[in-house]
Copies of this chain bind each other. A is one copy, B any other.
Amino acid sequence: MKHIAIGQAGGPTAVINATLSGFVRALYKDHSLTFVCNGYEGLANKKFFHADKEIIENLLAHEKVPGAFLGAGRYVFDDKQIYHSVHNLRERGVDTLVFIGGNGTMEALQRIKEEAYRQSYPLQVLGLPKTVDNDLGGTDHAPGFGSAARYVAQATRDIGRDLQAMCNFEQVRILETMGRNSGWLAAASGLLKEDKQDGPHFIALPEKRLNPEWLLQSIEVALQDHGFALIVVSEGVVWEQGSQVEKDKVQGRSVLGGVSKEIEGMIKKNMDVMVRSELLGMNQRSFSGAVSAVDFEEAVKVGETGALWVTQGETDIMVSLQRSQHAAYEITYEPLLLKTIVQNGERSLPQPFLDDQSAYNEWLRPLVGFDLQTYPPPLKRGETTHVQSESK
């Protein structure tokens, strides 16, 4: 019997509780569990819960609930806090520390591991991946991303048809996605575009600096061809001359957001059109109505795999998802050294996907779900006057 501490960190996703449930369900009968509240803050400040029957039952009932059941969030995790965290875990008699999170979490686990080693404390350490940005390297993708991508693809498709219907009133709409420094999520907006008339007519990604002339020109072409233009922009986009747009700075971490508003202003200055910018917002990481079935299943499986590896004594690794090279979509769960993840840093959208939306779509499609389809072609209303004068 081991004493295992588990926590969640960073921004929540719609399936981070599925991973938690998968992990806890597999272990709670044979092991002692400590729940860590509010991510690293809980480690540093001993916000520990003994996992009694009632709490475990409630936790399992949250399997399909967004947010993070134990609390997650962000926290300044300096050497002093790491020292305290290791001390707190040791004091509590913890054998194993497991955290669900992204790049920052894997780095934190690695540092905790090193501090424990320094203190000759044989702490087993395991990371379980989650990120809506999909910027964790070494894994094909991470739980949370598929559902966020599904939301972005679906919302873009639907809002595009709405705009098209309104184009005698409103001509340009700009949707801003999450993604921080990588364009995986923004690029997902192109998944369900089939007809040329449908948007997005331009996708701005952090991987390519944004040239305002080029953007305006694309909008003009779309307006000319279709009477409206739908633009998608990642929050992390960098202007050709300039930098990322920060909404806020909290605890030293920049909160991105607002580039769509800047683009709206630029268009208003240059064109006589009605334009509206909108964030796709917090729904991307939380909307339960857009959870991908595959994403949910994989999230559970990541938790179960982590539980298995804990009992097998594995340490210093994260559970990664590896895609088989066969035609049919198939995932195996493989260990990845925390050290390697930290060394690799944030992963951007690779060049082949930047160059070819359909190659990206093919990769993305199984994560989002095959049930989500493109719409039938819209009515070509631009030609109505012409058709009408002939038919009379």
Question: Do B286 and A161 have beta carbons less than 8 Å apart?
Answer: yes
Contacts of A286 in B (CB 8 A): 158-159, 161-162
Q: Does A75 contact B (CB under 8 A)?
A: yes
Cβ of A250 under 8 Å from chain B: yes
Question: Can you list, as one digit per residue, whether each of A51-63 has a CB less than 8 Å from chain B (1) or not (0)?
Answer: 0000100110110
In the complex, the answer to whether A48 meets B388 with C-beta atoms within 8 Å is yes
Q: B159 near A283 (CB under 8 angstroms)?
A: yes
**A160: nearest residue on chain B (CB-CB)?**
B67
Cross-chain contact A47 with B283 (CB below 8 angstroms) = no
Is A282 on the interface with B (CB-CB < 8 A)? Answer: yes
In the complex, whether A82 has a CB less than 8 A from a CB of chain B is no
A388 to B376, CA, bound (A): 57
Contact status B169-A385, CB under 8 Å: no
- Judge whether B50 and A391 touch: CB under 8 Å: yes
Q: Is the CB of B158 within 8 A of A288?
A: yes
Q: Does A138 belong to the interface (CB within 8 Å)?
A: no
* Chain B proximity of A61: nearest CB distance (Å): 4
**Chain B residue at minimal CB-CB distance from A69:** B379
From 47 to 104 in chain A, residues with beta carbon under 8 angstroms from any chain B beta carbon are 47-50, 55, 58-59, 61-62, 65-75, 92
Most B C-beta atoms less than 10 A away, residue of A47, A68, A165, A377: A165
Chain B nearest Cβ from A389, distance in angstroms: 8
